[in-house]
Amino acid sequence: MILPSQVLTDKEQILELARIFADAQKQKRIKTQFNLLDLGTVRDGRFLSYGRDYTEWLKKEAKVVSGENYLGELNGLDFRSNPLQSAAFNFRRVRNLLFYSYHLAETEPKKLFEKTEVALESIAKFPKSLILLSDGRIIVSRKDAKKELETLVGNIDLSFIESLELLLRDPARFYSELENPYNSARLLSQGLECLERMILAYITKFPEVNDREARG
């Protein structure tokens, strides 16, 4: 499912799709898996999480059932670095989890809690991956990596990561926060917005694929 946006997606739109999907699952009407994509990362390719072979197969075999045909825009890359591959798959994990959050809240709340914890951890670590990809530096501290990314790309609000770090360092508060499984959707929505802003800032600052990211 390719959303017609440039990296930054409409979270209310995703949540509405999540509600529709959850309702359809109650009636056993949908038996497929969705991956949420956007035109910005589809065209850039680095955070798409699809390799060249798979995207070429999709262009030939996939069928559009609704909306515009964006299959020709798919720009799959063959990852050279594990950090980029991990970053791309973590991005997909967070986005898809938000889409499936209402369904999981109703059917498997414990699973939603566990997946949300992993997803939020990946968001907190994301600046470290972007710094490594940009110039090869490894920054151990999440706090230092956040500051360095703010300096590197400029004009980006990463205050969510600060509040997220405080939440993750307080297990009692974290578990209490997610005791109501629908709080996961709220946190994932805020986290996805932060994640998308980091990716948009990165691909704007570095529009060309470098040799740490993908094979030519």
Task: Note the pLDDT tens digit of each residue in 157-174.
Answer: 999 999 999 998 999 998
SS3 57: helix
Q: Label residue 1 by pLDDT band (50, 70, 90).
A: confident
Dihedral angle sign, alpha carbons of residues 85, 1, 205, 118: negative
CA-to-CA distance for 182 and 201, rounded, in angstroms? 29
Average pLDDT in the 40-59 region?
Answer: 92
In this predicted structure, the answer to whether residue 64 has a pLDDT above a threshold of 90 is no
Q: Which residues of 86-121 are buried (b: 16+ CB within 10 A; e: fewer)?
A: bbbebbbbbbbbbbbbbbbbeeebeebbebbbebbe
216 pLDDT above the threshold of 70: no
Q: What is the mean pLDDT of the chain?
A: 91
Q: Which residues pair with 79 in a beta bridge?
A: 214
The pLDDT value given to residue 33: 75
**Listed range (53-57, 66-70, 77-81) with the worst mean pLDDT:** 77-81
Residues in Cβ contact with 124 at an 8 Å cutoff, skipping those fewer than 6 apart: 142, 161, 164, 165, 168
Residue 147: the pLDDT is: 94
CB 189 within 8 A of CB 11: yes
Q: What is the pTM of this model?
A: 0.92
Q: pLDDT per residue over 111-160, tens digit each? A: 999 999 999 999 999 999 999 999 999 999 999 999 999 999 988 999 99
**Helix, strand and coil in the chain, % to nearest 5:** 65, 5, 30
Q: Specify whether the CB–CB gap between 56 and 76 falls below 8 A.
A: yes
Per-residue pLDDT reduced to its tens digit, 9-31? 999 999 999 998 888 888 776 66
**Residue 82: which of 214, 187, 180 has the closest Cα?**
214
CA–CA dist 188, 164 (Å, integer): 11
Q: How confident is the model at residue 214 (pLDDT cuts 50, 70, 90)?
A: confident
Question: Quick one: which of 145, 140, 135, 139 has its CA closest to 211?
Answer: 135
State mean pLDDT over 90-100.
95
